[in-house]
Amino acid sequence: MNKAEILIIDDEEQIRRMLEITLKTNSYIVTEASTGSEGLIMASNHPPDIILLDLGLPDKDGMIVLQELREWHTGPIIILSVQNSEEVIIKALDKGANDYLCKPFRTGELLARIRSALRSSAAEESEPIINSEDLQIDLLTRTVKKKGELIKLTNTEYNLLSIFARNDGKVLTHQYLLRAVWGPGFINQSQYLRVFIAQIRKKMEDDPNRPQYLLTESGVGYRFMSNTV
Amino acid sequence: MKGRQKQYFISLGLVLLVSAVCYGISPWLGYRVVAFILLLTVSLIAISFDILPVLVSATLSAFIWDFFFIPPRFNFHVGNTEDIILLIMYFVIAMISAVLTYKIRLIEKASRKKEEKANTLKLYDTLLNSFSHELRTPIATILAATDNMQSGNNNLTKENKDELINEISKASLRLNQQVENLLNMSRLESGFIKPKIDWCDINELVYDTVKKIEDNKITQKISITINPDLPVVKTDKLLLGQAIYNLLNNASLYTKSNSRINIAALVHTDILEMIIEDNGEGFPANEIENVFDKFYRLKYSKAGGTGLGLSIVKGFIEALKGRVSLENISTGGARFTIILPTETSHLKVLS
């Protein structure tokens, strides 16, 4: 595996140190910025494979840094923040963050999110196929197989699942999903979403109550993980 | 009508009413008796009203007595010296009674305030004690463990080191839990909680919450008894989830290892009922009504805890217009019951 470069934008030295040690010992190349402006300059001089962005920066609001990054940077951005309200999380995702981790977070969780963000950004141009241990999704032939067996999905179920498959590892908000599957008039019909998620889980998960693939992000949305670690 | 205005209205009205009644029966009463009746009225007013309305009533009643009752009647002229002295005395006594009553009330108020302050201080003390314990213990653990590993002590085996690291991890989780509690409490105290009501799959919520508790490496076994076809309900899943988390966390902290905890949910028409039971020792019967109070800790409980967890449960459930109760199970253990009014939907299958 070639070494991915990660840019950390966080003003807390201690957090940067911990991240640096964790990431370097997991074979990533790490660069660091302690302010928003510094981070923006570093990202534009040398675009990293992933940006870890803190929201509480001393010089400018992390949301604005995110917005400015998204004007030209297409790579994955993961937010690391002490703010855990759903409003803030949804806002960050709407502004183009790929993922959101609340501090304090567990290292294993962070590494899993980084891996899946890297995977999905690498997979964007390749074949639209999810091929995990016991689940195969082929977006060209519109087929879904579980342990080699074809799963029968209704049209809506398939539409929903295909959106997840195209956004492997990424948190998708309720509103995003409702708009994408049912259209803008349905963004408040979250009960549709819950029903369909439950139906897909019943067909696809070993234990629908302890899902491995289709995970709930409480109060925010859902995340599809083809390769849960 | 504003409070002050109302006081003037009532006190002056009362003086006028009493005067009118006295006027009606004055042929059978001496005018000096009327003075006493009016004085009594003013004193009664002084018991419950502010000083200004009382002084105004005292003045008004003095003039009324002079004008309508002291002979010669219907002018302010006072016939003899005795009555002049009486009128002056009337006025002075009315004033003294007004001021004295007012002062007594002030003193009462001050002592009540003092008592409240003493109570707050006592609460603050308890709070400080429990928090310094709850925050310092894990910090002490972390510092001791890291010092130990940094000391260059060659006697530390790999097992020792693993154990120290494990302690650091446990201490951090405990710190995190206390900070969560404090943040939730301050949310409740600031009145900042506005439930976000949306459709919620109770099965999903419960399994997610149980998983979070199990991630704390608890030794108890948690079982879930919920019908997989339970209708979806309308509630704030974050508030309800936190309440369930705190109840399960409480059960896991205060029951022996390998105890059993069960969580059940039922939907009656427009009511969600959730029951969290354990087979531990239950609560002392005389303290059950206090356990949801803020900062309340059981009298003989083991060290630790801040008395916030259950009060947050109550606060969050009440923010959802529900209620939570606790009882001991006859065969041993505690049972928490949450009752939430809610909308339900049987919309379960769509294509």
Mutate to test the interface with B, among A90, A181, A218 (most CBs of B within 10 A): A218
Residues of B in contact with A210 (CB under 8 A): 207, 211
User: In the sheet where A143-146 sits, what is the strand order?
Assistant: A129-131, A135-138, A143-146, A149-150
- Counting Cβ atoms within 10 Å, is residue A147 exposed (0-12), middle (13-18) or buried (19+)? exposed
Structure confidence by residue, pLDDT tens digits, B198-207 = 888 899 899 9
Residues of B in contact with A104 (CB under 8 A): 172, 176
Whether residue A58 contacts residue A32, with contact meaning beta carbons closer than 8 Å, is answered with no
- Nearest-CB residue to B241 (from A191, A196, A218): A218
- Return the higher-pLDDT residue of B229 and B265: B265
User: In the sheet where B221-226 sits, what is the strand order?
Assistant: B221-226, B260-268, B271-278, B334-341, B323-328
CB contact under 8 A, B347 and A156: no
Q: How far apart are CA A135 and CA A115, in angstroms?
A: 19
Q: What is the pLDDT of residue B96?
A: 86
Structure confidence by residue, pLDDT tens digits, A168-199 = 888 999 999 999 999 888 888 888 888 899 89
Q: How far apart are CA B141 and CA B163, in angstroms?
A: 12
pLDDT at B133 over 80: no
Structure confidence by residue, pLDDT tens digits, A212-224 = 899 998 889 999 9
ipTM of predicted complex: 0.72
Q: Encode chain A (229 residues) as per-residue pLDDT tens digits.
A: 568 999 999 999 989 999 999 999 999 999 999 999 999 999 999 999 999 999 989 999 999 999 999 999 999 999 999 988 888 999 999 999 999 999 988 888 899 899 888 887 776 555 567 787 788 888 888 889 998 899 999 999 999 999 998 888 889 999 999 999 998 888 888 888 888 998 999 999 998 888 989 999 888 999 998 864 3
Q: Smallest Cα–Cα separation from B273: which of B213, B331, B230? A: B230
Residues of B in contact with A199 (CB under 8 A): 349-350
- Nearest-CB residue to A195 (from B196, B224, B350): B350
Q: What is the pLDDT of residue B303?
A: 56
- Nearest-CB residue to B348 (from A86, A157, A195): A195
DSSP code at position B69: I
Q: Taking an 8 Å Cβ-Cβ cutoff, which residues of chain B contact chain A?
A: 172, 176, 196, 198-201, 203-205, 207-208, 211, 224, 228, 232, 237-238, 241, 345, 347-351
Give the DSSP per-residue string, B288-351. Answer: GGGTTSTT---TTPPS---S-HHHHHHHHHHHTT-EEEEEE-TTSSEEEEEEEE--EE------
Structure confidence by residue, pLDDT tens digits, B44-71 = 888 888 888 888 888 888 889 888 888 8
Our CA-based measurement puts residue A144 at a distance from the nearest CA of chain B, in whole angstroms, of 17
Q: What is the pLDDT of residue A39?
A: 96
Return phi, psi of residue A201, to 5°. -60, -40
List b or e across B85-109, with b for residues whose CB sees 16 or more CB atoms inside 10 angstroms: ebbeebbeebbebbeebbeebeeee
Angstrom distances, CA of residue B282 to CA of A217, B261, B273, B298, B334? 34, 12, 21, 12, 4
Mean pLDDT of B36-45: 88
Residues of B in contact with A192 (CB under 8 A): 350
pLDDT at B82 over 90: no
Those residues with Cβ within 8 angstroms of residue A127's Cβ, 6 or more apart along the chain or in another chain: A140
pLDDT at B16 over 50: yes
Mean pLDDT of B180-185: 85
- Return the higher-pLDDT residue of B83 and B128: B83
- Nearest-CB residue to B238 (from A86, A190, A210): A86
Q: How far apart are CA A6 and CA A78, in angstroms?
A: 10
- Nearest-CB residue to B237 (from A154, A155, A219): A219
Of the pLDDT bands very low, low, confident and very high (cuts 50, 70, 90), residue B215 is confident
| Pairing label, strands A50-54, A5-9 | parallel
Q: What is the pLDDT of residue A229?
A: 39
Return phi, psi of residue A99, to 5°. -155, 165
Q: What is the pLDDT of residue A126?
A: 54
CB contact under 8 A, B351 and A210: no
Nearest CA in chain A to B173: A104
Spell out where A46-104 has E strands.
50-54, 77-81, 99-102
Q: What is the pTM of this model?
A: 0.69
Q: Taking CB atoms and an 8 Å cut-off, how many pairs form between chains A and B? A: 50
Angstrom distances, CA of residue B289 to CA of B79, B145, B189, B292? 70, 40, 21, 7
- Nearest-CB residue to A104 (from B176, B201, B351): B176
CA-derived radius of gyration, chain B: 34
Q: Taking an 8 Å Cβ-Cβ cutoff, which residues of chain A contact chain B?
A: 86, 104, 154-157, 190-192, 194-196, 198-199, 208-210, 216, 218-219
Residue carrying structure tokens 């959730």: B274
Structure confidence by residue, pLDDT tens digits, B294-341 = 878 777 766 567 788 899 999 999 999 999 999 999 999 999 999 999
CB contact under 8 A, A194 and B207: no
CA-derived radius of gyration, chain A: 18
Nearest CA in chain B to A83: B183
Return phi, psi of residue B91, to 5°. -60, -45
